[in-house]
Structure 1
Amino acid sequence: MKAISKLGWTAYGLAALVILVDQLSKYWILYVYDLPGRFSTPIVGPLSLTMVWNRGVSFGLFTADQDLMRWVLTLFSVGVAIALAVWARKAARPFLGIGLGLVIGGAIGNAIDRFRFGAVVDFIDVQRLGFFPWVFNIADSAITIGVVFLLLDSMRKESAA
């Protein structure tokens, strides 16, 4: 079996960092700040903290109210993370390693929520901007930014060898 590339280790480290920051932020929101008891709090400018239990996929799409769907979504997230982790083993380009790490960490962060709570903890709210109606979390942000890195990597020009 081929050794894990340096950028593969970078992807794994970044995934671990995303999971840690995501879960710590959710712990703070739920147990220290007690956002569920407040529901919504304006912070600064368009930023508010608003408690949403997301039972669907990203940004609340495809709501999964049944317990079976909770486990299907959890297993799907873990499966995607495993597949991306296998791909990351041989990452040879920085944007690929960064993108994979962010998506892996975000997928696992949200899977942990589904396992623990039956729903994903969403709390970052910028609806007052007027064009972004969704409430999200650190894991969602990591997935979105990771996909951007993967798209940028896919648009690179191959070097002539």
Structure 2
Amino acid sequence: MSEVRRSALVWLGLSVAVIALDQLVKAIVMSALQLHVPHPVIPGFLNWTLAFNTGAAFSFLDNQGGWQRWLFSALALIVSAVLIRWLATIPRTDWRNALPLALVIGGALGNLIDRLRFGQVTDFIDVYYGAWSFPAFNIADSAITVGAVLLIWFGLFGKKSPG
């Protein structure tokens, strides 16, 4: 039991916070915005635009008949389980590993909730410049991306964590 208390599993609290924020904002967006109608936040750069994605990042495998829902759901569960197991093996104070893992877990499970509830992921952050447009994304996607970048960054440039 003392091993669990000293492990980084406490960082799952951050994962829960990411999930809660992601789901709260998605609920607000779905009630306040109309599908594909942009609402400028920073004109010429950022809109809130409600969109749905049945695929993965960048709409990969979008509109493939529905089987991808279960593939990406299974992947989210497997990746989250592996990352939770990893959290259990590292010390609580090893924030350079715990923070990114918690962000990825929260993001993966936030999007998993959408897939299971709606069969698609709710996106709304629309970044663009002129004719160029980045695929719409959400808070869960942002957490996954930031977590992955931090994991790589700390792996390459971070000092060895105590523990």
> Normalised by the shorter chain, which TM-score bucket?
0.7 to 0.9
- Following superposition of structure 1 onto structure 2, how do residues 98-117 of structure 1 map, counting pairs within 5 Å? 98-117=99-118
Q: Distance in 2 between matches of 1:131 and 1:67?
A: 29
Q: Please give the secondary structure, in 1, of the residue aligned with 2:4.
A: coil
The Cα offsets for residues 41-83 of structure 1, whole Å up to 9 and x where unpaired, read as 1122311011211111112123253222211111111111111
The Cα offsets for residues 58-115 of structure 1, whole Å up to 9 and x where unpaired, read as 1212325322221111111111111111111122321210000000000000011111
Q: Are residue 21 (structure 1) and residue 25 (structure 2) matched? A: no
Q: Are residue 49 (structure 1) and residue 48 (structure 2) matched? A: yes
Deviation beyond 6 Å, 4+ runs, structure 1: none
CA RMSD of aligned residues (A): 2.1
Q: Distance in 2 between matches of 1:135 and 1:34?
A: 14
Q: TM-score, normalised by structure 2?
A: 0.85
What is the CA distance between 1:158 and its match in structure 2?
A: 4.6
Q: TM-score, normalised by structure 1?
A: 0.86
- Matching residue's letter, 1:103: V
What is the CA distance between 1:131 and its match in structure 2?
A: 5.5
- Following superposition of structure 1 onto structure 2, how do residues 1-161 of structure 1 map, counting pairs within 5 Å? 2-10=3-11, 12-31=12-31, 33-36=32-35, 39-45=37-43, 46-92=45-91, 93-128=94-129, 133-155=134-156, 156-158=158-160
Q: Distance in 1 between matches of 2:8 and 2:132?
A: 36
Q: Please give the secondary structure, in 2, of the residue aligned with 1:35.
A: coil
Q: Distance in 1 between matches of 2:154 and 2:10?
A: 18
- Matching residue's letter, 1:124: I
Note closer, same or farther for the CA distance 1:40–1:23 as it changes in structure 2 (3 Å cut).
Answer: same
The Cα offsets for residues 104-129 of structure 1, whole Å up to 9 and x where unpaired, read as 00000001111111110010011137
Q: Please give the secondary structure, in 2, of the residue aligned with 1:134.
A: coil
- Matching residue's letter, 1:101: A
